[in-house]
Structure 1
Amino acid sequence: MILVTGGAGFIGGHLAASFVSAGRDVVVLDNLDPFYDTDIKRRTIDVARQAADNGDGSYELVEGDVRDADLVADLVADAQFVFHQAAQAGVRTSVKNPRRVDDINVEGTLNVLDAARDSPTERVVFASSSSVYGKPSYLPYDEEHPTTPVSPYGVSKLAAENYVRVYGDLYDVPTVALRYFTVYGPRMRPNMAISNFVSRCMNDEPPVVYGDGSQTRDFTYIADIVRANAKLLETDAADGEVLNIGSTDNVDIRTLAEVIRDEIAPDLSIEHGERQAGDAEHTHADVSKAGDVLGYEPTEDIRSGVGEFIDWYRKNREWYEPLVRSS
C-alpha cells in the first residue's frame, strides 16, 4: 500500500491518481482544510476515485490530520511507501501565522518519521521546497547552496527536511527529500500566480503583479513532479539524498503575466500591487543531481506548460466554481 499524506491537495492528488492508475493501492490522509477550497479538494478526490472505478488500483480516503500521531502511526504501519505531501502551504500565510506552519509542517513530519521508524516502510519521500534556499548566493541553486530561508514557511520546510535526514542517518529510515520549485498545472491551487493570472484574464480582469515583477521563478510542470516521485517506487538510489526537482528555465513574474495576458486577452493592461513580505527574489533549479540519481529530465518549459494549463482551464472552468450539492 502507498500512503499519500495531503493526498487531496494539488500535488498529492496528482500523485494519488497516478499511483492508482498504475495499479497501486493508495490510502490518502487529508484533513480537507479549506486553505484554498474544500470543493476543489473533493474534485481532486473524485479524480482518483474514478481511476479506481476504472479497474486500476484501489483508493481510500481517510479524513484526518498529520498532527494526530496515533492515526499516522496506524496508517504508516500498513504502508510500503509514504509520500509525505501534507503541509500548511503558502509563504504569505506563514508570515501571518508562523506557529501554525511549524505545528503542521514540522510536528506533522515528526509524526510520520516516528511512525516509519517503528514500521517496515520501505521509503518515506518528503515534499520539501525551493523556499529553503531563500537569498541566492548564486544561481541556479544546487543542493549545496546555503539555506537561508526568508519566510517561516521556508524555515519549517528546512527544519522538517533536517529531521528527515537525521532519521535516515540515526534510525535507518529510508528517506528522500525532494525540493520542489513552484509547481503548476491542471488542478493547481487558485491562489497561485499562474492560476490567478489565467482566471483574471478569462474574466476580462487585468492580472495583478505584486512588486515590480522583476522577481524570477523556476516553474515546474506537475507531470514532471509525478514522474520524479514515481521513480522512487522503483529505486533506492536516492535514499538519504536531497534533490532539486525543477525545470530548465526561469521567468520573471511580469513576463509570465504578459505571456498569459497575450494568450487570453491581449488588450488588458498589467496592474501592480504591493510586494508581499516573505517572497523570495529569485528561484532557479540546478537539476543535474536528480538527473544523475534518478534520470530526471523536465519535459516542459514555462511557455509550453502555461499553454497546456490555459487549454485545460478553458475546458474545466467549473473546477474552480462551488460544487452544487443536493439537500
Structure 2
Amino acid sequence: MDLKGKKVVITGADGFIGSYLTEKLIEIGADVTALVQYNSFNSWGNIDDFSEDKKNATKVVSGNVRDYDSMRRLIKGSEVVFHLASLIAIPYSYDSPMAYVKTNVEGTTNVLEACREWGVEKIIHTSTSETYGTALYVPIDEKHPMQAQSPYSAAKIAADMMAESFYRSFNLPVATIRPFNTYGPRQSARAVIPTIMSQVIAGKEEIKLGALSPLRDFNYVKDTAEAFIKIAESDKTIGEVINAASNSEISIGDLANKIFKISGRDIKIICDEERIRPEKSEVNRLFGDNKKILELTDWKPNYSLDQGLEETYRWIEKNMNRFKVDIYNK
C-alpha cells in the first residue's frame, strides 16, 4: 500500500510516538487527520511543537476514543487508521485500573467497530511488549505467551484480543504492532530514560530510580514510527502481530551509567520504594525478536542506543521546563 494521498486517521496523535508518526505521514504526503484528547486548554500536546507547515498540513480533531459516536464521525471517509490512543503509565494503572479498561479496551473496540462500519482498508493497532510479561525465553518472539503482570498490560492484552477477534470474525484488515521500549525527544518523565536524564540535567548528585536489574529492549522513537509505516505499507501484515524490537537488551542500571557518561559526572543512584513495582508485577526481562518484521517488511532500526541517548539528552537539556524533577511522575 502506498500511503501517499491516502486519507489517514491517527488516534493518539498528540502523544509521544503518535506525534512522530503524524510528522512522518505528512512527509510521505498522506492526508492526515489527527485525533487529540479533548481538553479545555485547547492543547494539541506534541503537535504544538510542529513547524507551522506541518501544523497546517494536519487536520486536528479533539475527542476521546471512549466515545463511539465521535469515533464514528472521525473515521468516516478514512482509508487507513493508526490506533495509538491509550493510557500507558504502569504505576497509575495500579491506582485506577478501570480507567485503563475504559480507554484501552472499550476505546479500542470503538475504533475497530467504526473501522468495520466504514470499510477502512487497513488498521494498525498498537500493542506493547508489556503484554509478554517477564520473558519465559529470549529473544521474545510473537508466539511467546502473554502474561498480565499489571492492570495496564491486562488491558492491552484484552485490546489485542479484540483486534484479533475483529480480524477473525469480520475479516477486518487489522495488523498489530507490538513495540518494545520506545524512547526519544518529547517523551514524558513517566518513562525511565527521561526520568534519569531530567534529574541529571537538573544537577542532582543523587537520582531516584526503581529497580535497577530489569533488562529492556530500547528503540529510538523515529525507528518505531518507521515500523508503523512499514507495517501499514506491507500487504503481508494483515492479521499478524509484529514485534518492533532492536533485538538487544540492557539493564536499567547499565542504562543509567551510559547516561551519566554523557553528562560527564559521577552520580549516585537511590532506590526509591515508591518507584518499585509490586514483586509479582515487575517485568524482569524484555528482549525482543525482530525476525518477523524483517521478513514481512523492509524495516530495520537505524539508530544505535548511544546515538538515540545522545539526541534525547540534548533535547531534554533544551526543554527542562517540561519536567518536574522533584515529583515522581507516574
TM-score of the alignment, normalized to the shorter chain, above 0.5: yes
1:28 aligns with 2:34: yes
Q: Which residue does 1:52 correspond to in 2?
A: 54
Maintained 8 Å contact 1:202/1:265: no
Q: Which residue does 2:120 correspond to in 1?
A: 121
Gapped runs of 5+ residues in structure 1? Answer: 322-327
1:210 aligns with 2:210: yes
Give the Cα separation in 2 of the matches to 1:240 and 1:143. Answer: 13
Q: Which residue does 1:324 correspond to in 2?
A: none
Q: Which residue does 2:143 correspond to in 1?
A: 144
Give the Cα separation in 1 of the matches to 2:271 and 2:172. Answer: 47
Q: Which residue does 2:295 correspond to in 1?
A: 292
Give the Cα separation in 2 of the matches to 1:209 and 1:155. Answer: 24
Maintained 8 Å contact 1:21/1:51: no
Query: Normalization by structure 1: what TM-score?
Result: 0.90
1:18 aligns with 2:24: yes
Give the Cα separation in 2 of the matches to 1:111 and 1:170. Answer: 16
Maintained 8 Å contact 2:83/2:125: yes
Residue range with higher mean Cα deviation, 41-50 or 190-199: 41-50
Residues 32 and 255 (structure 1 numbering): CA distance in 2 closer, same or farther, change over 3 Å? farther
Quick one: which amino acid aligns to residue 30 of structure 2?
Answer: R
Give the Cα separation in 1 of the matches to 2:272 and 2:321. Answer: 27
Give the Cα separation in 1 of the matches to 2:151 and 2:10. Answer: 24
User: Alpha-carbon deviation of 1:172?
Assistant: 1.5
Among candidates 270, 281, 285, match of residue 284 of structure 2: 281
Quick one: which amino acid aligns to residue 208 of structure 1?
Answer: K
User: Alpha-carbon deviation of 1:82?
Assistant: 0.5
Give the Cα separation in 2 of the matches to 1:219 and 1:244. Answer: 12
Q: Which residue does 2:243 correspond to in 1?
A: 244
* CA deviation profile, 1:184-243 (whole Å, cap 9, x unmatched): 0111122211011111000111332213x1111111111111111112342221010000
Question: How many aligned positions are there?
Answer: 313
Residues 33 and 197 (structure 1 numbering): CA distance in 2 closer, same or farther, change over 3 Å? farther
User: Alpha-carbon deviation of 1:265?
Assistant: 4.5
Gapped runs of 5+ residues in structure 2? Answer: 1-6, 325-330
Question: Counterpart of 1:232 in 2: which secondary structure?
Answer: helix
Give the Cα separation in 2 of the matches to 1:239 and 1:120. Answer: 15
User: Alpha-carbon deviation of 1:175?
Assistant: 0.4
Give the Cα separation in 2 of the matches to 1:242 and 1:77. Answer: 25
Q: Which residue does 2:4 correspond to in 1?
A: none
Quick one: which amino acid aligns to residue 217 of structure 1?
Answer: R
Give the Cα separation in 2 of the matches to 1:53 and 1:253. Answer: 36
Maintained 8 Å contact 2:208/2:269: yes
Among candidates 4, 7, 27, match of residue 13 of structure 2: 7
Residue range with higher mean Cα deviation, 220-229 or 298-307: 298-307
Give the Cα separation in 2 of the matches to 1:175 and 1:143. Answer: 16
Quick one: which amino acid aligns to residue 11 of structure 2?
Answer: T
* CA deviation profile, 1:99-124 (whole Å, cap 9, x unmatched): 11011000000001111111121111
Give the Cα separation in 1 of the matches to 2:55 and 2:190. Answer: 31
Give the Cα separation in 1 of the matches to 2:34 and 2:252. Answer: 34
1:92 aligns with 2:98: no
Maintained 8 Å contact 1:207/1:257: no
Quick one: which amino acid aligns to residue 214 of structure 1?
Answer: S
Q: Which residue does 2:327 correspond to in 1?
A: none
Alignment of 1:223-238 (within 5 A): 223-238=222-237
* RMSD (Å) for aligned C-alpha atoms: 2.0
Maintained 8 Å contact 1:48/1:59: no
Q: Identity of aligned pairs, percent?
A: 30
Q: Which residue does 1:303 correspond to in 2?
A: 306
Query: Normalization by structure 2: what TM-score?
Result: 0.89
Question: Counterpart of 2:126 in 1: which secondary structure?
Answer: strand
Quick one: which amino acid aligns to residue 23 of structure 1?
Answer: G
Give the Cα separation in 1 of the matches to 2:38 and 2:250. Answer: 32
Give the Cα separation in 1 of the matches to 2:16 and 2:177. Answer: 16
Maintained 8 Å contact 1:125/1:176: yes
Question: Counterpart of 1:83 in 2: which secondary structure?
Answer: strand
User: Alpha-carbon deviation of 1:273?
Assistant: 1.5
Maintained 8 Å contact 2:36/2:44: no
Give the Cα separation in 2 of the matches to 1:299 and 1:313. Answer: 21
User: Alpha-carbon deviation of 1:319?
Assistant: 5.2
Q: Which residue does 1:201 correspond to in 2?
A: 200
